Structures are given as structure tokens and as C-alpha cells.
Chains A and B, each alone.
Chain A
Amino acid sequence: MQNDEAVPITVEFSGGLEILFSNQKKYSLSLPSQDESGAPANVAFLVRHLCENVMKDPRKELFILDGTVRPGILVLINEADWELEGEDQYEVQKGDHIMFVSTLHGG
């Protein structure tokens, strides 16, 4: 995975999602710069990558549903809602900070 064709990024989990990722909140990752089809790596690819290579918990449905992040998880690209950045089509850039936040309901 560590090669010249990799994009160094930071991925962070919050709101309890870290439980699905070995209780580690922050990951420094090198994301392959191209997805399976050779297209530039976007957030959709990052989500698949996380699910297949980083997430140990077999309860994948608590992170992914119908090929995308499940309802109730906000994806934040450099401190902004991904809806402001093109959602899962956003092409991941070197040094990006991508955060996955699960909504909380307790009160």
C-alpha cells in the first residue's frame, strides 16, 4: 500500500464510530491514488477501502449501507459537510482530513 502512487490523508472517527475501527479515533492512511477502475481516488473509494482494509469489525452494516455510508453518519471533508464538496465524488487530495461522525441521540 505504501508506494509513490498513494495519497497521504488523515481519517477520523467520532460519535462512537471508532468502536468499529478498533477503538482508534485517528488514522493516518496512504490511500491508493486510483480506484479499482483506474479513476482518481474519491471518497466513495475511500469508504470501500476503509471497509475492506481498515475495519476489523464484521458488522459492516453499521458503516456501509447500499454501497455508501449508512444513514446517520455525517462525512466531513476538511471541516465541512461533504454535501458542500460533491459528496462521495469528491476526489481525495493530499493532506485531506476526512471525518466520519455518527449522530448521537442521547440527552
Chain B
Amino acid sequence: MVAVIDSLRQQIATCEATLQDLHQQLAEAEHNQRQQERVLRKTKPLTTDPLDHDMNFGVPDDFRSEVFAVLDHEAEPQEQDESNKLGRWPLEKNEYRRYGRQLIMPEIGLQGQLRLRSSRVLVVGVGGLGCPAAAYLVGAGVGTVGLVDGDVVEESNLHRQILHSSARVGMTKVESAMVALNSLNPNVKLIPHILRLTPETAISIFKNYDLVLDCTDTPASRYLISDTCVLLGKTLVSASALRIDGQLMVLNNPPSPPGDPTGGPCYRCVFPKPPPPESVVSCGDGGILGPVVGVMGVLQALETIKVLTKKATGTEPAPADPPTLLIFSAYSNPMFRSIRLRSRKAKCTACSAQATISPQVLESGSLDYAQFCGSINPIDALTPQERISAESYAKLRSGVNPFTGTVSNKDNHILIDVRERVQFELCSIDGSVNIPFSTVSITPGLSLNPNTPSPGSNDMYVDENDWATQLRQTEKPIFVVCRLGNDSQLTVKKMKELGLNYGGKRFIGDIRGGLQAWREKVDAEFPEY
């Protein structure tokens, strides 16, 4: 049976690799076809065109160029630039039509549209924020949009990363986004940067753009992007989202040189020190609601358009808005809140006169952003004797004790699942009992003095102790499982602190690798989420 499963897994992996390859070939072929069509359109021989004679000999020049513009309304920017020299209007005919609804607004107008068209914007991260942000910027006619991302599209991205599609799972996010953006607005020049941003490459990529959007998902990338923007004098539109909350800031606005206190604050001014790594929660662990991150990405596009089209008053450049942090909380009322932020910090290591971060320091690679932000060491809280593999646990459930080889009753142990209730309800191992890790972690261990419960929280306090009390009713061995095998270790430790192992007489241990290992080694049908 195991051999069959292995063989099937291998076949699936091979097919998936082939499929991924096909996706890439398709993207390439489609791209080549588009290129060819462009060339054909440019070099269309006049003699094959039934309108040829009339257009060349019977029609006034102005009218002729207009007709050609209509016939060729999907023309490429280069062609537009050429015909612009001849044309009467600052924008192409198709541009008037395409952008008409925003052109007639005083906030944009002709000058705004021309500014957008001549702007070069870099979107770093083509995920939940970057997809909607790029879609609206490309839709609005920003002339050049660069896309930075080193990841490939995964199925679990699709509920929020709206530029990608089911068929493009496995393709790089940058290529997938380019397919969607190109079909949305072929007039925009898209520049792919299929890589993960590093200190060594950031400056050379950023320097070709006017404004940067931080659509990434780690503290390290946020500091790197901010530092690079300060060094190059680029305004930064930064957003983030998790679960039901989002945050948005326009930083380094105006982008005055480091040391100039009139410039807007940078990310380091607002957050001089990174958060402890154990407090950083990813969307994969904490969850994310699609429209929440979507709202934040759309707001990034909005702020970008506002900055790019800001009107000068007389000869003075337009003053920048005072720095604020916009907080979005989907389940609060009101949902939006704007907070006044500080100005540049006098001792900021990036943007002040005392800054220590320079282009040389950055490009030398001597700034280790990953180390600056720290990382969580893999949890290794238990001894090998306190851990059991998923396979061994499966044997134990089938009645064979994996340690002694003796046959025993399958009901002779307790399986505790410490995932949060909402995850437990999605899927669980038969017979397991749910004690959420959040409940375990707020139960004071023996080393801590229990806090005096304040009025109103008594119910919760009783519940917290209840699980331990219940586990004291029996002496059956306890196995603890979680999603990946981290929280389960901490729970085993806590149970022992609470004396549930009766001084070593009762076995308490966890399943190594958690439910992920259970799915990989024992039950391939167990859902992956």
C-alpha cells in the first residue's frame, strides 16, 4: 500500500512539473505571438489594405491620421509617441476614451493624465496588496509599472491575489500578473523583476522608478525598501494587512534628502526597532480575508495616483499631506481611522543628518536585514523520548504499541489537538479532543503566579483550569497534535509544568510534524489548508 501511495505521489509530482513547464511555455508563446502582432501591425503593407488607395490619395491628412488612430486603437505606446508628433491632441484618441471617466475630474484632468503617463512606478510584491494596486495603476494609465517578486502562484493565493488565475498556478507571480495586466491595458509598459529583493540589488532596481509601493510581507523587506527609497529620494506608499486589519502610510513624502527635516518620515522613523520575531504573524499562520488586503492594495494605488498627480500651486511645488497612518479594521465601527504621525526623527539611522545607512553600506551587503529583524528558531522543546512520529502514532491507534510491540486497546490514550477551534472544526483526527493553544498559553504554569482575575473575566478563568482538571481525571497517556508540531511541544511542556504527568508516571508527548506529517505519512486524504 505504501509503495502504491509513493508511486502515485511521484506520478503526481511529475505531472505537476510538466504542467508547470507547459504553463511557462504557453506564457512565452502568448508573449511571442503578441510581439509578432505588434510587428505585423507596424509593417502592415499598404497594398493589401482595401482602404489603401483612398487613404493615401483621397483623404485629407488630419482625417487620415484620425481614421488610422481609430482602426489602430490598440496601438502600442511607441506608435502613439510617433503619431503624437503629428497629432493635434496631447493624448491619443484611444486614451481620451479609455481614461475619459477620470480625465473629466478636476483632480486628474489632462495634466494629471500626462503626469501618470510619464510616471514610472515600482510595485514590490505581487501578492494580496500588489495585485489590486498594480491593476488600478495600470488601469489608470501609469506609463511604466515594474513588478518585483520571486515567488510562484499557489492555489492558496487565489482568494485574494486577483491578477492570478487557476490556470497559472505554478507560474511566477510576475509573469502571471503581466498576462493579466497586459490584457487590462496594453498601453502600459510592464517591466518584470523576477527575484527576491536583496540589499545588493535594491538600488539598481529602484533607481529607474519615480515612486515605490511596498506590497511585501516581512519586516526585513519593509526596512530594506524604506532605506532604499530614502537613499534614492523616492516616495514610498506602504501597506500591510493581516486577518481583518490593514495599515497604510505614505512615507518619505516629500522625499527630501537624508538630513533635511522637511522631508516626510521614513519607516525607521515610525518603527526604529523591528518587532520581536515571535510577535510577527504571517497571513499563512494568522489568516487573511481577501477584501481586507484588497482594500489596502486599492488604497495604495489611490495614494500613488494622488502623489503623482498633485498639482503645483503657482511656481511652488505642491505641499505634501502631513504624515498619517490609516488603520482599517473590517469588523470595527468606524472601519477607518486616521492617526497623525511624527515627522522625521532627529536620530533616524536612515533619513537624519546622523544617518549611518549609505548607498555604499547597502550595496556592500554588510547590512543584514534578516538578522536585524531576527528569526524564530525552530521550536525544540522536547526530548526525542517525548515525541512520536506520525507513522508510529498510526500504529498505536491500530492497536500496536510502537515502543513495546504489544497489542493494546486503541482507546487507551487521549489525543489532544491544540489548534484553534475554527481550525479543529475544519478537519480533525477521529476521537481527538480540542484544547486550543490560546487557552493553554493563558493558563498560568507553576512557575508563574496566577493573576487575580478581574471582575467580568471569571468564566474564562474557570475554563482555563477546567481542561487541566479534566485531564487529571484519568491516567491514560496523552498525545498532543497541532498543525506543524510547534504548539504541541509547548503544550506538552505546559502539561508537565502543571504536573499532569504525575511525576513521570504518565506518558505525555507530541506527534512530530503535526497534522502535516499525518497527511504526508499516514492519511493522504487529510485536508491541507
A residues with CB within 8 A of B = 14-16, 19, 22, 25, 52-54, 56-59, 61-62, 65, 70-74, 76, 79-81, 83-84, 99, 101-107
Contact = CB atoms under 8 A, between A and B. Distances in A.
23 contacts: A14-B329, A15-B242, A15-B247, A16-B281, A56-B442, A56-B451, A56-B453, A57-B442, A58-B445, A74-B271, A80-B340, A99-B339, A103-B219, A103-B247, A103-B275, A104-B240, A104-B242, A104-B247, A105-B222, A106-B128, A106-B283, A107-B240, A107-B283
A57 B441 contact: yes
B460 A56 contact: yes
Contacts of B239: 107
Contacts of B222: 105
Given A62-B278, A107-B293, A22 B339 contact: no
Contacts of B340: 79-81, 84
A18 to B, nearest CB: 10
Nearest to A17: B279
Contact of A81 (B130, B216, B327, B341): B341
A106 B240 contact: yes
Contacts of B127: 107
A16 B342 contact: no
A106 B281 CA distance: 8
B342 A81 contact: yes
Contact of A101 (B130, B273, B278, B327): B327
Contact of A104 (B246, B274, B339, B341): B246
A54 B454 contact: yes
The residue in A56, A70, A79, A107 that gathers the most chain B C-beta atoms within 10 A of its C-beta is A107
Contact of B274 (A16, A53, A72): A72
Interface string B444-463: 11001001011001001100
A71 B240 contact: no
The 7 closest A-B pairs by CB, nearest first: A72-B275, A71-B273, A106-B242, A104-B240, A107-B217, A83-B342, A106-B283
Contacts of B245: 14-16, 104
Given A106-B281, A107-B129, 18 more contacts: A14-B245, A16-B245, A25-B332, A56-B442, A56-B461, A58-B441, A58-B444, A61-B276, A72-B280, A74-B271, A74-B325, A81-B270, A81-B341, A84-B340, A99-B339, A101-B339, A105-B242, A106-B242
A42 to B, nearest CB: 19
A25 B331 CA distance: 11
Given A58-B448, A106-B242, A70 B279 contact: yes
B275 A107 contact: no
Contacts, number: 129
A19 B438 CA distance: 9
Contact of B288 (A25, A58, A61, A106): A106
Contacts of A19: 438
Interface string B261-285: 0000000001111111011111100
Given A16-B286, A58-B448, A80-B339, A107 B241 contact: yes
B487 to A, nearest CB: 13
B342 A107 contact: no
B170 interface: no
Given A81-B341, A104-B241, A72 B279 contact: yes
Contacts of A22: 457, 460
Contacts of B129: 107
A16 B242 CA distance: 8
Best-buried of B325, B445, B460 by chain A (most CB within 10 Å)? B325
B199 interface: no
A72 B325 CA distance: 14
Contacts of A107: 125, 127-130, 214-217, 239-241, 283, 293
B276 A70 contact: yes
B11 interface: no
B56 interface: no
B506 interface: no
Contacts of B274: 71-72
Contacts of B36: none
A71 B273 CA distance: 6
B218 A58 contact: no
B465 to A, nearest CB: 12
Interface in B111-141: 125, 127-130
A65 B125 CA distance: 31
Contacts of A106: 128, 217, 240-242, 281-283, 286, 288, 293
